Structure 1
Amino acid sequence: MRILFISWLFFTLFFQILFGSNTVLISGQCLNDQQSLLLQLKKSLNFSSSSSTKLVLWNQSSDCCLWDGVTCNTAGRVIGLDLNNESISGGFDELSSLFSLQFLQSLNLAFNRFNFTQIPNGFGNLTSLTYLNLSNAGFAGQIPTEFSSMTRLVTLDLSTLFPGIHPLKLENPNLTMFLQNLSELKELRLDGVNISARGSDWCNAISSRLPYLLVLSLLNCDLSGPIDPSLLELRSLSVIRLAQNDFSSPVPEFFANFRNLTELDLNSCNLNGTFPRRIIQVTTLRTLDLANNELLEGSLPEFSPNAALQNLVLSMTKFSGTLPDSIGNLEMLSRIELVRCNFSGPIPSFSLSKNLTNIDVSHNDLTGEIPSSHWEGLQSLVNLNLGYNSLNGSIPVSLFSLPSLQKIKLSNNKFAGQFNDILNVSSHKLDTLDLSSNNLTGPIPKFVFHLQGLKILSLSSNDFDGSIKLSVIENFKNLTTLDLSYNNLSVDATIEVEETIEEPRDDSEDPDDDEDEDEMEDKTFHGRYG
């Protein structure tokens, strides 16, 4: 029996190896008409052969279902086309062979250069599409009415990143007409599209037609406020990105009622009033961006230990009060930016927030010390900016042992005392060190001169003293900015001349040259910085 079983297993594996791959290939082999349509499409498109990684490899001698960017079903029909970032330029019209791919379910033409040409009406022929991405593809003008024929769309992305420019617009049809047959949408991204609608209009258009919507992204769409309560009908909304619109109104408290809310981006919306604290306490919230709303007031509540917050961005607002200790218990926290707010009091410990990469709380009125225990274990921290506050005490040298740290900015505080030197400097990635405008004393510690990756070193306006060898400064190969002004430092500019073989003297040389060389051989310049 054992021999029979082994024999059966051997022949099973043998036939799978011999015929299995061919079987898969046959079931998905590209149909001739599909390959012909794709080759016609390639021929009609202008693209850079040197930049293309997909189109340039399409050829008649291979199965089109194996081409990069092409997905087929088991019948050999093309159902997916990904030509993202293929350096396509120019445009194509509604007669393009693209619109004859009737079984296409997914189409990605993002990040190409269609040179501000109109979106062709032919997209209305692709009625099987569930995914369409034309973001940053270079299209312009009115979005065609024919889009309403793509009734199976689940994801639609027409976003553009041109700041202050609206290449695409929704005028006729307007947003209401545009969405009337797209009830299956779960993701709608129209960033940069000129919609020009009032709060009640755009909110009602979306809430009445897109019952399954999960992601709503309408950055820089020329929308106005106030944000209408009808939006609350979209109970499943998870991502709300409405930045760079002029709402000129308070933030509605009903945002706290979205049970699955993970991202709320209201950056640069001219918001006013007091921000509802209940929204910050939504436990599913990962990203909250309220930056650049200079009239928006608020304060931070205590955070739940199971909060999912990763990104907290409140820069350039009127948020005030103290930073709660519980903010340092947010284990998922990655980015905290509170620049130019009105926060006061001490900085809490972030030692439990092991995922932190960026801390910027500069330009506030924070006080107290920053002991080394606040920063223990922050292995991923890249940027630390505590500048322009009223912090005091000593600067913990343990900061320079954080392995990922690239920027330390502690300027314009009240830090005082001498640095303790350290032997093990792990901050080999550090490119910026700004300790200017403090009350630091003593010699500049030697470990600073071992930070060989520094591009910016600013220690000005302190009370550092002692002498610095010019040769040590020359070791900074990447240094672009050095500021040691307004200290009590001197620079040792000794030039060491290596012994060389004496050349026969040319009698025509100036006899005074010998005296000049003797003087330069051991000359020390003491530059005073203070």
Structure 2
Amino acid sequence: MKNRGLLLFQILLVIETTLVSSQCLDDQKSLLLEFKRLLKFNATASTKLVHWNPSTEDCCKWGGVVCDKSSGHVVGLELDGESINAGINSSSALFKFQFLKKLNLAHNFFNSTEIPSGLFNLTSLTYLNLSNCGFSGQIPEGLSRMTRLNILDLSDYFIYGKSSLKIENPNLQVIVRNLTELTELYLDGVNLTAQAKSWSQTISSLLPNLSVLSLSNSQISGPIDPSLERLQFLSQIRLDQNNFNETIPEFLANLTNLKVLRLSYCNLQGMFPRRIIQIPALDFLDLSGNGKLQGSLPEFHENGSLQTLVLSLTKFSGMLPESIGNLELLSRIEIMNCNFSGIIPYSMENLTRIVYLDFAYNNLIGHIPFLQNSENLAYLDLSLNRLSGTIPSTYFKGFVNLAHVDLTSNLFTGNIPSSLFSLQSLRHIKLSQNHFSGSLDDFSYAWLPNLDTLDLSSNNLNGSIPVSLFELKSLNILSLSFNSLTGSLQLETVNRLENLTTLDLSNNYLSIETSHDSSIQMLPQFSTFRLASCKLKSFPNLGKQSRLFVLDLSDNQIEGTIPSWIWTLGDGRLSYINFSCNQLMSFQEPYVMPRLSILDLHSNQLTGNIPVPPESASYVDYSANNFSSSISIDIGKNLRFAYFFSVSNNRLTGTIPDSLCGSIYLRVLDLSNNRLSGMLPSCLLGWGLSLGVLNLGNNKLSGKISGIYGKNCGLKTLDLHANHLEGSVPKSLVNCTILAVLNLGNNKINDTFPCFLKNSSNLQVLVLRNNHFHGDIQCPEPMSNWPQLQIMDISSNQFTGKLPQNLFLNWTSMMGYDDGARSKVNILRYDFLKLNNFYYQDTVTVTSKGRDVELVKI
């Protein structure tokens, strides 16, 4: 401890000299001017160097210059962020400041040059900061001569040029072998690959006085050597963004002075030791981004030091302990996307200093926590849980700093608390996907002058939209979709929201009226414009929209022609168009589709040739129209990146193009209910790896069902019903382990009962009716492995023998069948592009008492 006290005295002495300026000596002034003369820097960005002027006598008063109190020698240069990009080389006057103790060149840009060797002649330095300077290459061995260093920062968070700093040869041991006085070491972003596993032993054996160890994103790995426990002065450990691929050793809990522990995105796994969280001095803990890391929160003792706790994107689970209320200094807690469950403890009311609270994406239940004592709360996110109950109208009263409220995807009921709309600090209100009801109160710009986002979608709100809402001048995002709002609205009313970029009023009971005069051109510049199911009778005049990205006008009453100006919207940015469920009949010529990702035109009355899909498309739906052409033989070239393609329920003729087999990303291909003929392309039947749904039913296809499914088959639906197909059922379907729907009805297939599918445990629908199947339905082994089977139709075949009684007793899922057009059981849905909430809905036609009934499972 005596040496430790001496070290502290030396550090305080350095601090004292850096705080006092004195009349500098002439030789020091000359050196400074010579140093500046060779530097290259951006004079307009510089705040210090630009004012170094020879006419000013006292150079100790120049920005960034610190002189010794008594001697006038320059002992400190603080030149961080001065836009220096060259001029420090082996002959620089910088290296002649023999009394220099502190040098800070952070946040300049030396254009990927190596650290100049002359720098290491400054052997009096106790502080050296070269972080984010753009130096690159091997850190020189000469650094080891700077034996008085207390603080060394060579961090390289941003990569300039072709390479960044590294320690390889000489290695870390050689570099730091003489730096025994170091108390703080920052090598964040420095490439330590060569020291990946030896770093902890090197540091623990050579740097006994270390209090700060920062090696974030340095490409180090585990194991963390137990010798690190020797560094009892350690107060901060920052090892974020490395790849340890191991559990965290419990010995870290013995570092009783530890205040900061940052281990985010380190590929940690196993169980995190609770004792570490209970270190008395610990005030900052970040374990986020370790998707395999498990753990639970311990009991927290009174008077704990913890101020920041970040566990997001881990597998921490269990209940939040009631003792969390003992963390009275806690200002930030993030447990987003973990597995916490149970109620939020009532003791949260003790967290009076909380500023940032994120409990999103867990399994929390019960009522919203009482936080009225947390007057400094600025960020509240409880989304994607199962919280319920009503929220008192006065709940948000007094939160004068609250800027963000997100209660999305919970089970809240009752009216939206009126106090929420009286907070001038609010920027984001997100309450979508709950059960809030009632009408919307009037809004006041005076109450909400900073409101950027208002998302109340997917609730049970009713009544009309208050006109006062359109006075919220700062509003950027407005979403009221999927409610029960009523009334009519002139679209030009939106003109008042001049900063609006996202508008979504879809799926209410609104009637939106559009004008075609010049005033409509004053609409804000939208990125997202959604007016689905708004009783529109014509296209709004959006011709001036140069930033549009998403356009949804589906389920309206728009009829006639799609105007050609639609395809020019967004100046090339337009990516999403949905005009489905209207009364559109044709395209205005000429038209060229932009680089769309989503194009949905289904359920209209479009005729003629199928439009060539844009080559960038991932989702194309032309189904339920009156297209009567053949499918272009080259259409596969335009579907190279497509996940979904449907032209079902049209009047298409001709054959299925082989080019479709080049669309290797397709998950859903639906060509059903057309007049397609010819042979079934064998490549489609061997497409099991990516294709989840293949529906070619109700066409005029002929030939055998040929093709081989591999072991990675991902097929969930195969529907070939109502064609002229012959031969047998492909035995390779046994590899399609997630197959749920197999519909081969109304063909000419000649085969026996498909006993080879006995282990297809996901099978839910099996339709073989009206073919030439024959033989005994009883298989050599009991068919007890279809636990989810709900529909089996084998009628109008030549099966013989007795129906096995045990067969039906094992198919218990049939007992949940609802005899009608719709079932309560969610079985025939194939999800794909889940981020866009897209799915494919199967239908199955069965015959009951001589009558065909189409079943849609939802």
Alignment TM-score > 0.5, same fold: yes
Paired residue for 1:359, among 380, 390, 397?
Answer: 380
1:195 corresponds to 2:189: no
Show CA shifts across 1:363-396 (max 9, x none): 4444444445654433222222332344444322
1:262 corresponds to 2:256: no
Aligned match of 2:35 = 41
Contact 1:78–1:103 (CA<8 Å) still a contact in 2?
Answer: yes
Aligned match of 1:52 = 46
Amino acid at match of 1:411: S
Aligned match of 2:214 = 217
Higher relative contact order (CA 8 A, sep 6+): 1
Amino acid at match of 1:247: F
Q: Once the 2 structures are TM-superposed, how far is the Cα of residue 134 of structure 1 from its aligned partner?
A: 0.8
Paired residue for 1:102, among 93, 98, 117?
Answer: 98
Structure 2: how far apart are the matches of 1:456 and 1:358?
A: 18
Structure 2: how far apart are the matches of 1:392 and 1:91?
A: 66
Structure 2: how far apart are the matches of 1:405 and 1:283?
A: 36
Structural mapping, 1:61-100, within 5 Å: 61-62=55-56, 63-73=58-68, 74-90=70-86, 92-100=88-96
Contact 1:166–1:193 (CA<8 Å) still a contact in 2?
Answer: no
Structure 2: how far apart are the matches of 1:227 and 1:368?
A: 47
Structure number with larger C-alpha Rg: 2
1:232 corresponds to 2:229: yes
Structure 2: how far apart are the matches of 1:479 and 1:418?
A: 23
Amino acid at match of 2:345: P
Q: Once the 2 structures are TM-superposed, how far is the Cα of residue 267 of structure 1 from its aligned partner?
A: 1.4
Structure 1: how far apart are the matches of 2:452 and 2:21?
A: 56
Match of 1:205, SS? helix
Match of 2:237, SS? strand
1:306 corresponds to 2:300: no
Q: Once the 2 structures are TM-superposed, how far is the Cα of residue 445 of structure 1 from its aligned partner?
A: 4.1
Match of 1:160, SS? coil
Aligned match of 1:119 = 115
Match of 1:433, SS? strand
Amino acid at match of 1:189: Y
Q: Once the 2 structures are TM-superposed, how far is the Cα of residue 246 of structure 1 from its aligned partner?
A: 0.6
* Distance change in 2, residues 1:274/1:171 (3 Å): same
Structure 1: how far apart are the matches of 2:173 and 2:364?
A: 43
Structural mapping, 1:368-387, within 5 Å: 368-371=389-392, 375-387=396-408
**Unmatched tracts of structure 2, length 5 or more:** 1-19, 317-339, 520-552, 557-858
Paired residue for 1:440, among 456, 461, 470?
Answer: 461
Q: Once the 2 structures are TM-superposed, how far is the Cα of residue 260 of structure 1 from its aligned partner?
A: 3.5
Show CA shifts across 1:280-339 (max 9, x none): 344543332222211122334455553444433322222322443434522333323344
Show CA shifts across 1:142-161 (max 9, x none): 11111111122122111122
Structure 2: how far apart are the matches of 1:441 and 1:330?
A: 36
Structure 1: how far apart are the matches of 2:215 and 2:394?
A: 42
Structure 2: how far apart are the matches of 1:168 and 1:413?
A: 51
Amino acid at match of 1:229: P
Contact 2:445–2:471 (CA<8 Å) still a contact in 1?
Answer: no
Structural mapping, 1:362-441, within 5 Å: 362-371=383-392, 375-421=396-442, 426-441=447-462
TM-score, length-normalised on structure 1? 0.81
Contact 1:238–1:261 (CA<8 Å) still a contact in 2?
Answer: yes
* Distance change in 2, residues 1:150/1:307 (3 Å): same
Match of 1:264, SS? strand
Contact 2:260–2:283 (CA<8 Å) still a contact in 1?
Answer: yes
* Distance change in 2, residues 1:163/1:139 (3 Å): closer
Q: Once the 2 structures are TM-superposed, how far is the Cα of residue 471 of structure 1 from its aligned partner?
A: 4.8
1:291 corresponds to 2:312: no
* Distance change in 2, residues 1:386/1:286 (3 Å): farther
1:208 corresponds to 2:205: yes
Structure 1: how far apart are the matches of 2:371 and 2:405?
A: 12
Contact 2:478–2:504 (CA<8 Å) still a contact in 1?
Answer: yes
* Distance change in 2, residues 1:435/1:64 (3 Å): same
Q: Once the 2 structures are TM-superposed, how far is the Cα of residue 456 of structure 1 from its aligned partner?
A: 1.0
Structure 1: how far apart are the matches of 2:267 and 2:374?
A: 31
* Distance change in 2, residues 1:355/1:131 (3 Å): farther
Q: How many residue pairs end up in the alignment?
A: 477
Paired residue for 1:450, among 471, 475, 480?
Answer: 471
1:155 corresponds to 2:175: no
Show CA shifts across 1:435-494 (max 9, x none): 222332222345533322111111212222223344542211211111111111223557
* Distance change in 2, residues 1:298/1:384 (3 Å): farther
Aligned match of 2:242 = 245
Q: Once the 2 structures are TM-superposed, how far is the Cα of residue 431 of structure 1 from its aligned partner?
A: 0.8
Aligned match of 1:181 = 178
Aligned match of 1:315 = 312
Point out the more displaced range, 217-226 or 284-293: 284-293
Contact 1:488–1:529 (CA<8 Å) still a contact in 2?
Answer: no
Q: Once the 2 structures are TM-superposed, how far is the Cα of residue 169 of structure 1 from its aligned partner?
A: 0.5
Contact 1:315–1:339 (CA<8 Å) still a contact in 2?
Answer: no
Q: Once the 2 structures are TM-superposed, how far is the Cα of residue 101 of structure 1 from its aligned partner?
A: 0.5
Match of 2:463, SS? strand
Amino acid at match of 1:42: K
Amino acid at match of 1:61: S
Aligned match of 2:131 = 135
Aligned match of 1:522 = none
Contact 1:199–1:227 (CA<8 Å) still a contact in 2?
Answer: no
* Distance change in 2, residues 1:259/1:55 (3 Å): same
TM-score, length-normalised on structure 2? 0.52
* Distance change in 2, residues 1:455/1:187 (3 Å): same
Match of 2:496, SS? coil
Point out the more displaced range, 202-211 or 451-460: 202-211
* Distance change in 2, residues 1:27/1:492 (3 Å): closer
Contact 2:38–2:87 (CA<8 Å) still a contact in 1?
Answer: no
Amino acid at match of 1:54: K
